[in-house]
Structure 1
Amino acid sequence: MKTLYRRTVVVAVMLALSISLSWTYASAAGKELKKFNVGYLASTGHTMYFIAKEKGYFEQEGLDVQLFLFTNSGEGLNAISAGKLDAGSFGTAPPLVFITKGVDVTIFGGQMSEGHGIVAKPEKVDQFRDLKNYAGKTIATVRLSTGDVVFRGGLHHAGVDWKKNVTIKELDSPGAVLEAIKKGSVDAGILWPPFLTLAEQQGLKVARRSGDVQPNHTCCRQSALTSRLKTNEADYIKFMRALIKAHAFYKTNQDETVDIASKYVKIDKAILKKDLYSGNLYISPDPEKAGVVSFWQNMNDAGYISSKEKIESHINTEIFRKALDQLIKEYPNEKDYKALKASFKA
């Protein structure tokens, strides 16, 4: 029955996406807005989307952005590759894996970095602080999640053969991973915001954070079909302008940011605020090309993928650069724009 329900929901979402791709509508001011379909996960890491939508930044840029919720990153990348989404933010691993399978996807912006962790019951947590102790253990994960790749890479570098000596259970959602840890059907599990903080609230403990295993690693990246980026570059520049505006808002309006995020991530606001501003999760629209290249190399080193593809050809930094330069010209005194420019590397 669950499978039938899931299929029904997916079909309904795809139908809605197909219909909305061909629509445009006029705003209250009479300006025609172009439909732009975007996929997201119910994660605090996707808060720039929520801010841009609720504060009207997408509309300011002439876009009618429709946000579509997905359960996991694999589903989201399938929708992108099928042409149902104009863009989406589904980790770093999923677009890279899809590229190895021949899907022509390009990363053109950022969303969040770090933020994942491995969680266990209090009586087991100490043994999972050292990656060498993972041999012989059962770990739950959501395949293609960023944390999944980071921890497999960490095990590889620690000398643990995760393919032979660790039992990895791939589940459909972070909620399923959390339940598996609580029930004791696995020894530990890999989670991301806000589920990491939810796990702590429910009595579980974080053994290691992903940033400790692979410092400054990228997570959700803005991804799209390469053909669409080439054909509709102006729309993607507008999209990134809206996200850059949202980032500036996020940096200076904590309480309202939490209120906005709570409309999309249905958990206690105190958890949201901790996730957004505790320093374990980093939000930025910068595509972070070097970070993506490093992530690609780590995936190959760990045996998660095997590809000689030059991943640089699937990273577009020009869209972000053009959007940021335009905004700096229009708002020369905006400190956040200047900070983004200072840290940006093409």
Structure 2
Amino acid sequence: MENKKQSIAKQSFLNAAILVLAIALFGCNEKTASDGFYSFNIAVTANKVVNPLIQIAEEKGYFKEYKFKPNYTTLEMIGTPEALVAGKLDAAYEQIIPPISYGAQGADVKIFAGTLSGGMEVVAKKADAEFLRNPANWKGKTIGVIHLSTAEMVSKAALGNNYGYKVGEDLNYRIIDGYPSISSAVAKGTLDIGLISSEYLEAARSIGLELVFHLTNLQKDYVCCRQYAFGPSFEKNKDAYKAYLKGQIRAYKDYITNPDESIRSLARLTGEDIDYIARYIYAKDSNGDRSYNPDPNYNGVLSIYEILTGWNYIESHARLDEFFNIEVYASALTEIIKEFPEDNFYRDMWKYFLENDNKFPGFDYKEI
């Protein structure tokens, strides 16, 4: 327990000075540019393909259509939560654990949309891979993970709920610092199973490991990266965030229904190689079954939050819905459906919303 608390103290992160700084130095003015467009600061990474839904929305003119002008700030993910809580950013996206941790400890943030699902791989020695393709054979195995990673939380929830395993009795988890180190430990035999990001799969194969399956085989469409906002900005400027999501909803249709044009769109915007974009975005065999979706997926986030609080990774009595918003996404999608009443794609998105966000307290949305 002590190690968990020490780790969350290092990674989680809230202190009163930051909150005071946020209140003292940063207002929550209307987020409009001088030309009448909505505009706010969005954190992105140095990776050229930062978020295909945002980038397609920009390149195809969907943001412009809804009078939204993004202002990008390039930051390393490790510094993003602190900058957002301090009010230097209005929106960001990253793995779900940091925004959950900040929100649970009282930071004024709002999780309001989805970004990425999938992207993680399960690897083992070649001699063991076939046997381990059935998780019912995992009893007594040792699994290597990065501490407080989405993969750790998703796998614990899925193995417990679906297979009845108890961590510490039926399974052992070992915390390893970095994906290459996880792969190396599996190759040496000190771990039976490794959970690694898809970007490290080829390196794992080069040292004799084999893909067992994508982590989505354990938990379909599990949540990974979510979009979250600085609370005062979000509450003051919901129309701006709605315009931001309307552009992403339109881009999501392109991403799903027109991959060739979406790849070309991303190549035009980023200057990145078309083959690289195709592999990174669409090659599910090698990208960890990665997929993108702007839906908040409250139900999926709730399952992770329950693991974090149930295992005392986070000591908090806060309810997830206290720092989570589904109303702005629902409003954005409803308006898109009204704009394109004959387009069943957006109605299917609404069905997905009804199925994956219905555990939000007071949920009373109906079929359209």
Identity of matched residues, %: 25
Once the two structures are TM-superposed, the CA of residue 31 in structure 1 deviates from its matched residue by 6.3
Once the two structures are TM-superposed, the CA of residue 268 in structure 1 deviates from its matched residue by 2.9
Query: 1:181 maps to which residue?
Result: 183
Give the 3 Å change call, closer, same or farther, for CA 277–151 of structure 1 in structure 2: closer
Query: 1:161 maps to which residue?
Result: 168
Which residue identity lines up with residue 320 of structure 2 in the other structure? I
1:1-346 residue pairs with structure 2 within 5 A?
34-40=39-45, 42=47, 46-72=51-77, 74-123=78-127, 125=129, 130-135=137-142, 139-141=144-146, 143-154=147-158, 158-161=165-168, 165-171=172-178, 177-178=179-180, 181=183, 187=191, 189-193=194-198, 195=199, 198-199=202-203, 202=206, 204-261=209-266, 263=270, 268-272=276-280, 273-275=282-284, 280-345=289-354, 346=363
Give the 3 Å change call, closer, same or farther, for CA 276–169 of structure 1 in structure 2: closer
Once the two structures are TM-superposed, the CA of residue 122 in structure 1 deviates from its matched residue by 3.0
TM-score normalised according to structure 2 size:
0.70
Once the two structures are TM-superposed, the CA of residue 242 in structure 1 deviates from its matched residue by 0.8
Contact 2:183/2:204 (8 A) holds in 1? no
Contact 1:106/1:315 (8 A) holds in 2? yes
* Structure 1 Cα separation of the partners of residues 66 and 131 of structure 2: 51
Contact 1:107/1:222 (8 A) holds in 2? yes
* Structure 2 Cα separation of the partners of residues 276 and 167 of structure 1: 27
Once the two structures are TM-superposed, the CA of residue 279 in structure 1 deviates from its matched residue by 9.2
Which residue identity lines up with residue 100 of structure 2 in the other structure? L
Which residue identity lines up with residue 253 of structure 2 in the other structure? A
Point out the structure with max Rg over C-alpha.
Answer: 2
Contact 1:153/1:299 (8 A) holds in 2? no
Deviations 1:140-171 (CA, angstroms, capped at 9, x unpaired): 52x44321322344566622329x95431233
Contact 2:31/2:240 (8 A) holds in 1? no
TM-score normalised according to structure 1 size:
0.74
Query: 1:5 maps to which residue?
Result: none
Q: Which structure 2 residue ranges, 5 or more long, are not aligned?
A: 1-25, 355-362, 364-368
Q: Which structure 1 residue ranges, 5 or more long, are not aligned?
A: 1-17, 172-176
Give the 3 Å change call, closer, same or farther, for CA 134–86 of structure 1 in structure 2: farther
Once the two structures are TM-superposed, the CA of residue 191 in structure 1 deviates from its matched residue by 2.9
* Structure 1 Cα separation of the partners of residues 272 and 204 of structure 2: 17
The count of aligned residue pairs is 313
Which residue identity lines up with residue 181 of structure 1 in the other structure? S
Q: Which of 252-261 and 317-326 deviates more?
A: 252-261
Once the two structures are TM-superposed, the CA of residue 103 in structure 1 deviates from its matched residue by 1.4
SS of the equivalent of 2:316 reads coil
* Structure 2 Cα separation of the partners of residues 196 and 101 of structure 1: 33
